[in-house]
């Protein structure tokens, strides 16, 4: 990887050039810190008053809230049992401490009471299972209060290993409304940096114990930002994710193998169009937008947003669902884009009424009327009134339906979230369902499919009767096919007779249900170092599309070369891929450990002195008799929770271990190690950063109890790299 990025450096897209231009503009603007920025912009206020996005009686509240700093929001992820256990820890230990230790203990008690009330973590009522929270956590709080400092560090450490996702509250809404099921084929068209992709991956894996047959293709036009997606996807270790790098407006079609074995065009069950936007809904987080906001921004984005949405519904299957979202308040980027699609598709798609799907969410219905406005703040009710000099900026397709026609489009089904409604950012979401093939798709189908070129070109007769945008052919506009692939490292799948496979299969006692053809490496020649695993569906996509689609990454690292003489296999297990491979690993390499053993193994961080086998529980020692030296799996199965009401709450933890000649050790990244210790109820204070320890008396005084912190461990842990498992825990001996 990486070579390709260099090679394509000069190939700058329109969006990249535009961004470069914007940055130039930025360079001219005086640099100001966020605190210094005056949170005012008369044009912004005039424009949104004109558009009537907020009732008059709420306007002041709206303007006051949008100038305030945004609260922190996060959600707990992972399997149901793990998420529930972690939720218990957050609500118990961390939230309680914060409420007992307000950030300014020297203030008078009335002020403290008010502060406690304001700082109370709020459970987001519309997010399932009480797993998403919002709280006012300022830098000042983190600096001054030990309880907030520890909460903050806890959130960071659990985010690192993918058990918590910090994400703006409103940004959690689009994936929820997509109604994802484990078998869905999902396309995230503008995915970077990937907070919604992460949520989609979680939703795909939501059913404990069932391996999803669906997948997520996460795409972004920006090559550098695609690597943010790689990082994001790695936190979730899913073998059902593919990352691609294309302009979503001209996203190429994917080919897949159909149930009858023939190649067909892939249509997606779910599409997320979280399009690039002016971002004025994020003013609370990005106050620099106050300095640059103007009406032209929204107008200029309407075109690309429409093209991406249009391509999104083309790639959607009939019966499938698409969510269009922006973090903009501007109707030109929102309802106008949706209206344009509804006009163009002539009843083939419709807005879905999702009013009952997010109980407790406060929002306003979509606008049915808006005023396209030129840079000089003149609003127009008809394109005929637009002066020639503004006609490139205010386009005919931007106008709202006439009052008589408005009812046909159900634009009120769109969801607008204003910041003051529940102390969030501003957001827009529309849910679209595809009822039948689009007019130009249907027309193309009616033609004998002589060539793909012809099919993608659409039907001239239909085009003659259509709106201007219909004339844009169906499918991606870039017809030139790449025949030599892209310059990422290759994706080389094992064949059934891969020479490496028998030794891995036999050593790990792997079930024949796991096909070696789902394993791949990223090199054609030389010694294979890492072996990745993908689902069957993802394998099919990679194999059928690697020449035409710019694939950036896929697969989860499952085996790593480890030429250790004491092990009868050249590869050890990798923690990242363990959960994918685990169902296939036989009893020969599994050790079921007690909680006390697990804590002992995890807490040991001295590679030279791993826990001796004879210090472990007799039941563990008994199993060890039959397990040869080398990489293995440690499994801990918690007690059933009788208060669960029949729900799955039995906590099961599995991690990579190492069976030495006389010892056993856990072989997991430090962040996972701390996470598992927390779930076992062990003391993890030695891993937690705690600057308050510099003056232990302060810590003692504040909490009323001694807090055990090992400063040396702390610094060492900070330097540890999650990826470098070997460096972290020592090469097994």
Ligand X SMILES: C[S@@+](CC[C@H](N)C(=O)[O-])C[C@H]1O[C@@H](n2cnc3c(N)ncnc32)[C@H](O)[C@@H]1O
Residue number with the smallest Cβ distance to ligand X: 190
Q: Is 523 a catalytic residue?
A: no
| Residue matched to tokens 């920006």 | 222
* Cβ proximity of 149 and 140 under 8 Å: no
The CA distance from 350 to 343, in Å, is 10
Among 334, 414, 331, smallest CA distance to 379 is for 331
196 touches ligand X (CB under 6 A): yes
Q: How far apart are CA 656 and CA 602, in angstroms?
A: 11
Q: Report whether 487 belongs to an annotated binding site.
A: no
In angstroms, what is the minimal distance from the CB of 241 to ligand X?
Answer: 14
* Region binding ligand X by CB under 6 A among candidate stretches 193-201, 285-293, 557-565, 618-626: 193-201
Stated as kind and residue range, the H or E segment containing 581 is helix 575-581
**Start-end of H helices in 205-294:** 223-236, 289-292
Site string for ligand X, 247-266 (x = CB under 6 A): xxx-----------------
List 82, 141, 202, 274, residue binding ligand X (CB under 6 A): 274
Residues 530-569 that bind ligand X (CB under 6 A): none
> Which C-beta is closer to ligand X: that of 82 or that of 247?
247
Would you say 130 is a known binding-site residue? no
Is 193 annotated as belonging to a binding site? yes
Q: Would strands 241-244 and 215-219 be described as parallel, antiparallel, or unpaired?
A: parallel
Q: Closest approach of Cβ 544 to ligand X, in Å?
A: 22
Q: Nearer to ligand X by C-beta: 195 or 253?
A: 195
CB 193 to ligand X: min, Å: 5
* 608 annotated as ligand-binding: no
Binding of ligand X at residue 191 (CB under 6 A)?
yes
Total residues contacting ligand X by CB under 6 A comes to: 21
What angle is formed at CA 132 by the lines to CA 103 and CA 86, rounded to 5 degrees? Answer: 80
Instruction: Show the tokens assigned to 535.
Output: 């689902």
276 is in an annotated binding site: no
- Shortest CB 229 distance to ligand X, Å: 9
User: Contact at 8 Å (CB) between 77 and 206?
Assistant: no
Looking only at the bridges linking them, the beta strands covering 590-592 and 630-637 are: parallel
C-alpha–C-alpha distance, residues 644 and 113, integer Å: 34
Cis peptide leading into 193, omega within 30 of 0? yes
**Smallest separation, CB 249 to ligand X (Å):** 5
Q: Given phi > 0 = left and psi -120 to 50 = alpha, else beta, which region is 473? A: beta
Task: Give the tokens for residue 114.
Answer: 């008010």
Which is nearer to ligand X, 220 or 314 (by Cβ)? 220
Q: Which of 283, 275, 352 is nearest to 321 (CA)?
A: 352
Q: Which stretch binds ligand X (CB under 6 A): 201-209, 242-250, 408-416, 610-618?
A: 242-250
Indicate the residue among 195 and 237 with the shorter CB distance to ligand X: 195
By DSSP bridging, strand 415-417 and strand 364-365 are antiparallel
Residue among 192, 200, 510, 670 that touches ligand X (CB under 6 A): 192
Q: Which positions from 114 to 153 touch ligand X by CB under 6 A, shown as an x/- string? A: ----------------------------------------
Nearer to ligand X, 424 or 580 (CB): 424
What part of residues 201-230 is at the interface with ligand X (CB under 6 A)? 220-222, 225
193 lies in the site for ligand X, by CB under 6 A: yes
Site for ligand X in 291-310 (CB under 6 A): 304, 308
190 binds ligand X (CB under 6 A): yes
92 is in an annotated binding site: no
C-alpha span between 150 and 709 (Å, rounded): 12
Taking CA atoms, 366 is separated from 173, 304, 351, 413, 424, in Å, by 16, 21, 11, 6, 18
In this complex, which beta carbon is closest to ligand X, that of residue 47 or of residue 427? Answer: 427
Residue 137 Cβ vs ligand X, minimum distance, rounded to whole Å: 21
Residue from the set 157, 195, 237, 466 that interacts with ligand X by CB under 6 A: 195
Query: Residue 360: which of 173, 140, 639 has the closest Cα?
Result: 173
121 is in an annotated binding site: no
Two structure tokens written together for 483: 């025949």
- Which is the catalytic residue, given 54, 327, 569, 673? 327
The set of residues, in sequence order, having a beta carbon less than 8 Å from that of 416 and lying 6+ positions away, is 53, 329, 334, 363, 364, 365, 366, 367, 426, 427, 428
Is residue 677 a contact point for ligand X (CB under 6 A)? no
Cβ of 457: how many Cβ atoms within 10 Å?
17
Smaller CB separation from ligand X, 13 or 711 = 13
Q: Does 15 bind ligand X (CB under 6 A)?
A: yes
Of residues 15 and 343, the one with the C-beta less far from ligand X: 15
Tokens 């003051």 found at: 420
The Cα 605–Cα 665 span in angstroms is 9
Shortest Cβ distance from residue 191 to ligand X (Å)? 5
Shortest spacing between CB 220 and ligand X, in angstroms:
5
Determine the Cα–Cα distance for residues 230 and 474; give it in Å rounded to an integer.
30
Q: Looking at 31-39, 191-199, 517-525, 626-634, which segment touches ligand X (CB under 6 A)? A: 191-199
Nearer to ligand X, 251 or 602 (CB): 251
According to the annotation, is 191 in a ligand binding site? yes
276 binds ligand X (CB under 6 A): yes
192 is in an annotated binding site: yes
Residue 405 annotated as binding? Answer: no
Task: Identify the CA nearest to 560 among candidates 731, 718, 733.
Answer: 731
Integer Cα distance of 725 and 575 in angstroms: 9
Q: What residues make contact with ligand X under the rule CB under 6 A?
A: 15, 171, 189-196, 220-222, 225, 247-249, 274, 276, 304, 308
What residues act catalytically? 327
Task: Name the binding residues for S-adenosyl-L-methionine.
Answer: 190-196, 220, 247, 274
Q: Residues forming the annotated binding site? A: 190-196, 220, 247, 274
């Amino acid at each position: 990887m990486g070579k390709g990025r260099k090679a394509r450096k000069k190939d700058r897209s329109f969006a990249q050039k535009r961004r470069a231009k914007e940055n130039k503009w930025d360079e001219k603007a005086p640099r100001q810190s966020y605190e210094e920025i005056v949170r005012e912009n008369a044009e912004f206020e005039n424009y949104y008053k004109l558009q009537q996005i907020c009732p008059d009686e709420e306007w002041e509240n709206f303007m006051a809230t949008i100038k305030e700093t945004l609260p922190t929001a996060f959600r707990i992820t992972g399997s149901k049992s793990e998420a529930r256990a972690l939720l218990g820890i957050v609500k118990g230990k961390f939230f309680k401490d914060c409420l007992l230790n307000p950030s300014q203990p020297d203030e008078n008690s009335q002020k403290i009471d008010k502060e406690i009330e304001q700082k109370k973590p709020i459970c987001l009522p519309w997010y399932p299972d009480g797993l998403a929270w919002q709280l006012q956590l300022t830098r000042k709080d983190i600096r001054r209060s030990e309880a907030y400092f520890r909460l903050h560090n806890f959130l960071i450490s659990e985010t690192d290993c993918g058990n918590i996702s910090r994400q703006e509250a409103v940004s959690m809404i689009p994936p929820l409304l997509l109604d994802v099921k484990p078998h869905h084929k999902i396309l995230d068209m503008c995915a970077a940096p990937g907070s919604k992709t992460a949520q989609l991956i979680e939703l795909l894996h939501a059913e404990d114990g069932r391996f999803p047959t669906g997948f997520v293709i996460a795409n972004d036009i920006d090559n550098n930002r695609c690597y943010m997606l790689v990082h994001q996807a790695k936190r979730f270790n899913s073998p059902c994710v593919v990352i691609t790098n294309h302009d979503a407006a001209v996203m190429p079609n994917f080919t897949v193998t159909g149930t009858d074995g023939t190649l067909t065009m892939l249509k997606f069950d779910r599409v997320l169009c979280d399009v690039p936007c002016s971002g004025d809904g994020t003013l609370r987080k990005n106050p620099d937008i106050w300095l640059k906001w103007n009406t032209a921004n929204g107008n200029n984005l309407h075109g690309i947003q429409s093209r991406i949405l249009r391509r999104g519904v083309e790639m959607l299957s009939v019966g499938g669902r698409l969510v269009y979202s922006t973090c903009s308040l501007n109707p030109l980027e929102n309802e106008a884009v949706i209206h344009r699609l509804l006009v163009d598709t002539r009843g083939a798609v419709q807005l879905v009424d999702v009013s009952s799907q997010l109980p407790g969410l406060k929002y306003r219905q979509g606008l049915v009327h808006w005023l396209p406005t030129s840079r000089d703040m003149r609003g127009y009710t008809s394109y005929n009134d637009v002066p020639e000099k503004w006609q490139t900026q205010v386009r005919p397709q931007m106008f709202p339906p006439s009052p008589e026609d408005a009812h046909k489009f159900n634009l009120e089904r769109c969801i607008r979230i204003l910041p003051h409604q529940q102390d969030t950012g501003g957001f827009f979401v529309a849910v679209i369902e595809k009822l039948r093939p689009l007019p130009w798709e249907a027309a193309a189908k009616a033609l004998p499919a002589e060539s793909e070129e012809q099919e993608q070109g659409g039907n001239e007769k239909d085009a003659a009767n259509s709106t201007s945008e219909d004339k844009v052919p169906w499918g991606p506009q870039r017809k030139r096919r790449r025949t030599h692939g892209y310059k990422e490292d290759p994706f080389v799948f094992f064949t059934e007779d891969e020479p490496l496979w028998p030794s891995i299969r036999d050593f790990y006692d792997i079930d024949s249900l796991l096909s070696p053809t789902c394993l791949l490496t990223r090199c054609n020649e030389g010694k294979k170092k890492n072996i990745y695993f993908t689902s069957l569906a993802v394998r099919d996509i990679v194999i059928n599309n690697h020449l035409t689609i710019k694939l950036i990454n896929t697969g989860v690292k499952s085996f790593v070369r480890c030429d250790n003489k004491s092990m009868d296999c050249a590869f050890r297990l990798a923690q990242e891929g363990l959960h994918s491979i685990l169902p296939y690993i036989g009893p020969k390499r599994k050790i079921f450990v007690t909680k006390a053993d697990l804590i002992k193994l995890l807490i040991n961080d001295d590679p030279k002195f791993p826990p001796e086998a004879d210090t472990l529980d007799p039941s563990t020692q008994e199993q060890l008799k039959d397990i040869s030296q080398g990489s293995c799996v440690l499994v801990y199965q918690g007690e059933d929770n009788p208060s669960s009401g029949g729900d799955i709450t039995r906590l099961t933890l599995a991690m990579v271990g190492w069976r030495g000649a006389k010892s056993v050790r856990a072989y997991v990244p430090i962040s996972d190690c701390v996470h598992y210790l927390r779930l076992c109820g062990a003391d993890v204070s030695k891993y937690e950063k705690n600057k308050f320890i510099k003056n232990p008396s302060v810590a003692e005084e504040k909490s009323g109890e001694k807090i055990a912190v090992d400063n040396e461990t702390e610094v060492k842990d900070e330097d540890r790299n999650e990826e470098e498992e070997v460096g972290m825990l020592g090469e097994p001996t």
